[in-house]
Chain A
Amino acid sequence: MEIVDIVPPMLKDNVIVTSVDALFKWARGNSIWPLSSGLACCSIEMMCAAAARFDLARFGYEVFRACPRQSDLLIVAGTLTWKMTPPLIRLYEEMPEPKYVIAMGSCNIGGGPFADSYSVVKGLDEILPVDVYIPGCPPRPEALIDAMIKLREKIQHPDVAVKVENDD
């Protein structure tokens, strides 16, 4: 017998029965705290997304923490160069689990306009596991908000993200 069937009918409207897992996922998805790790031009659009017109606060995501130990989302906004890679990996490693990564902008998808440069990383997924990619140069703040909503979907319903296994 399911627990949901033994709740008396008059309380059905006032009692939510769920699993701890689903509760945690709901909480996590609605209060993602990004790390303010803007690197270049996309970071200005990230700041615009947090500002008054586009307003990330509506979704619960306005708390940009300066310290990786207090954040759970790393938005890499801007061109990643090889010189910046060791600090970025360190930031990622300092973040506590569960943590997520958004690759913002075409520079982080595949190098962007600087793909053939000697000092630019050709895509963030060369060094970090990425959850959501945002195309654009720079992507509009609405695109960043869309990405964060997709991330929320991914957190709350992990089955939407299909993992492709590499056969090595």
Chain B
Amino acid sequence: MAKTEPYILNMGPQHPSTHGVLQVQLELDGERILGAKPVMGYLHRGIEKLMESRTYTQCVPYTDRLDYVSSMNNNLGFCETVEELAGIEVPERAEYIRVIVAELNRIASHLIFIGTLMIDLGAATGMIYAFRDREKILDLFNIICGARMTFHYIRIGGVCADAQPEFIAETEKFLEYVPKMLEEYDHLMTGNEIFYHRLKGTSPLTREDVLRYSMSGPNVRASGVDYDIRKIDSYSIYDRFDFNVPLGTNGDNWDRYQVRFHVHGAAAGDELHCLAGGFHRVLCGQHCLYPAGHQAHSGLFHHQSAGLYDAGSGGRLSDRFHVPSHDPCVFQGAAVPLCRCCDACDE
């Protein structure tokens, strides 16, 4: 009599859908996923150890490369941690610039999410749309700091250089374009039956799962848990802005997509508030000595909250620097095995 048995299929570390190196050992019954074990470490570069032998200002470029799609947010998290430890006050204008560039970077990284989501589900042209719009944001970053990706723009004590008038003018133009852009993606994706059937009901995560696994970011909000560090902890000057936090209901892939999609609108709203503020120029000392102490700080990287923990014993270097989620979602990686009993995509 014919019988079937489950088999183990290795996905990665090189795989077009992993977008980076992640190996997932899938236990499959035909096309149904029974179990998924992630294997990480293929991009473990030892950044925490390297940071122990660099001065605080030299550490900032390393934070760019932690989560390279949202470099500004990483820089911001690190700089805020060190500023809290050392009691450095950031000028108001610099705070506004930081929030502007951090939110622009959030939009850019969520555009990568949309583009790669589309290409993973089979719509290859979708990636072209998303990257076209991402290039507009990278042009803005090019104006403000000269770099396209790993910016090293937000520094300890403020920002690298003041925002130029062209940057402000171009950002305003871009923000007028954002609603049209979102409408286009909405039209392409949200109403699309194929995406709907592929995403709705797949890999649901319940509220309890999300809390048990200490998850954060849009994945948490997709499961209906109202946890947005920008509202709860209000690092930098986020408490001055009024924005909505979109929440999902089922915690499936569809909700995770919707939550990230609607974040765009919220981020753009912040920008408009910021542009009304005033600006200053800031410089920070390279070789200043930082007091001893321990500082933990929480910030919202583009897809998860990541705190930075710094234990310094005084001096120019820190004794121990820890980024809790520096590898692709360490906490959320533990939740990958929960994505079972769902049909694997056919790519």
> Is there a direct interface between A and B, measured as CB atoms under 8 Å apart in the complex?
yes
Contacts of B47 in A (CB 8 A): 114, 117
- Bound-state Cα–Cα, A39 to B47, Å: 16
Q: Is B266 an interface position by the 8 A CB rule? A: no
Q: Is B61 an interface position by the 8 A CB rule? A: yes
Do residues A39 and B61 form an inter-chain contact, with CB atoms below 8 A? no
Of B8-16, B90-98, B213-221, B246-254, the one touching chain A? B8-16
Please judge, given known A-B contacts A51-B131, A51-B132, A114-B50, whether A83 and B20 are in contact too, CB under 8 Å. Answer: no
- Bound-state Cα–Cα, A40 to B150, Å: 12
Distance (whole angstroms) from the CB of B53 to the closest CB of chain A: 8
Do residues B43 and A78 form an inter-chain contact, with CB atoms below 8 A? yes
Of B46, B68, B127, B132, which contacts A40 at CB under 8 A? B68
Do residues A83 and B44 form an inter-chain contact, with CB atoms below 8 A? yes
Q: Is A6 an interface position by the 8 A CB rule? A: no
Of B42, B62, B69, which contacts A44 at CB under 8 A? B69
Q: Is A41 an interface position by the 8 A CB rule? A: yes
Do residues B43 and A84 form an inter-chain contact, with CB atoms below 8 A? yes
Please judge, given known A-B contacts A41-B68, A52-B131, A87-B13, whether A118 and B49 are in contact too, CB under 8 Å. Answer: yes
Do residues B131 and A47 form an inter-chain contact, with CB atoms below 8 A? yes
Residues in A101-133 with C-beta less than 8 Å from chain B: 113-114, 116-120
Closest to A55 in B: B128
| Interface size of A in residues (CB-CB distance below 8 Å) | 35
Q: Is B315 an interface position by the 8 A CB rule? A: no
- Bound-state Cα–Cα, A43 to B42, Å: 15
- Bound-state Cα–Cα, A119 to B41, Å: 10
Do residues A119 and B19 form an inter-chain contact, with CB atoms below 8 A? no
Do residues A120 and B45 form an inter-chain contact, with CB atoms below 8 A? yes
Do residues A114 and B45 form an inter-chain contact, with CB atoms below 8 A? yes
Q: Is A149 an interface position by the 8 A CB rule? A: no
Do residues A83 and B131 form an inter-chain contact, with CB atoms below 8 A? no
Cross-chain pair count, CB within 8 angstroms? 97
Do residues A41 and B128 form an inter-chain contact, with CB atoms below 8 A? no
- Bound-state Cα–Cα, A137 to B62, Å: 12
Please judge, given known A-B contacts A38-B20, A41-B65, whether A138 and B43 are in contact too, CB under 8 Å. Answer: no
Please judge, given known A-B contacts A83-B41, A87-B14, A120-B45, whether A38 and B135 are in contact too, CB under 8 Å. Answer: no
- Bound-state Cα–Cα, A10 to B14, Å: 54
Please judge, given known A-B contacts A51-B132, A118-B49, A119-B45, whether A84 and B21 are in contact too, CB under 8 Å. Answer: yes
Distance (whole angstroms) from the CB of A97 to the closest CB of chain B: 20
Q: Is A36 an interface position by the 8 A CB rule? A: yes
Distance (whole angstroms) from the CB of A109 to the closest CB of chain B: 15
Contacts of A23 in B (CB 8 A): none
Closest to B116 in A: A47
- Bound-state Cα–Cα, A140 to B148, Å: 8
- Bound-state Cα–Cα, A78 to B13, Å: 13
Q: Which of A52, A120, A140 has the most chain B CB atoms closer than 10 A to its own CB?
A: A52
Please judge, given known A-B contacts A79-B43, A84-B13, whether A39 and B21 are in contact too, CB under 8 Å. Answer: yes
Q: Is A81 an interface position by the 8 A CB rule? A: yes
Closest to A45 in B: B149
Do residues A40 and B14 form an inter-chain contact, with CB atoms below 8 A? no
Q: Is B323 an interface position by the 8 A CB rule? A: no
Do residues A113 and B62 form an inter-chain contact, with CB atoms below 8 A? yes
Contacts of A45 in B (CB 8 A): 148-149
Of B15, B16, B50, B149, which contacts A138 at CB under 8 A? B149
Do residues A40 and B16 form an inter-chain contact, with CB atoms below 8 A? no
Closest to B58 in A: A113
Q: Hey, what's the 0/1 contact readout for A72-97 against B, CB within 8 Å counting as 1?
A: 00000011010110011001000000
Closest to B135 in A: A53
Of A48, A53, A88, A119, which contacts B44 at CB under 8 A? A119
Contacts of A140 in B (CB 8 A): 148
- Bound-state Cα–Cα, A138 to B149, Å: 7
Do residues B150 and A81 form an inter-chain contact, with CB atoms below 8 A? no
- Bound-state Cα–Cα, A137 to B64, Å: 11
Distance (whole angstroms) from the CB of A117 to the closest CB of chain B: 4
Selected A-B contacts with CB under 8 Å, 10 pairs: A48-B148, A51-B128, A51-B132, A64-B16, A79-B43, A84-B13, A117-B46, A117-B49, A118-B46, A138-B148
Residues of A within 8 A of B (CB): 35-41, 43-45, 47-48, 51-53, 64, 66, 78-79, 81, 83-84, 87-88, 91, 113-114, 116-120, 137-138, 140
Excluding A51-B135, A114-B46, A116-B53, 20 further A-B contacts by CB distance (< 8 Å) are: A35-B14, A37-B14, A40-B21, A40-B65, A41-B150, A44-B68, A44-B69, A44-B149, A47-B127, A48-B131, A48-B134, A51-B128, A51-B132, A113-B50, A114-B45, A117-B50, A119-B46, A120-B45, A137-B150, A138-B149
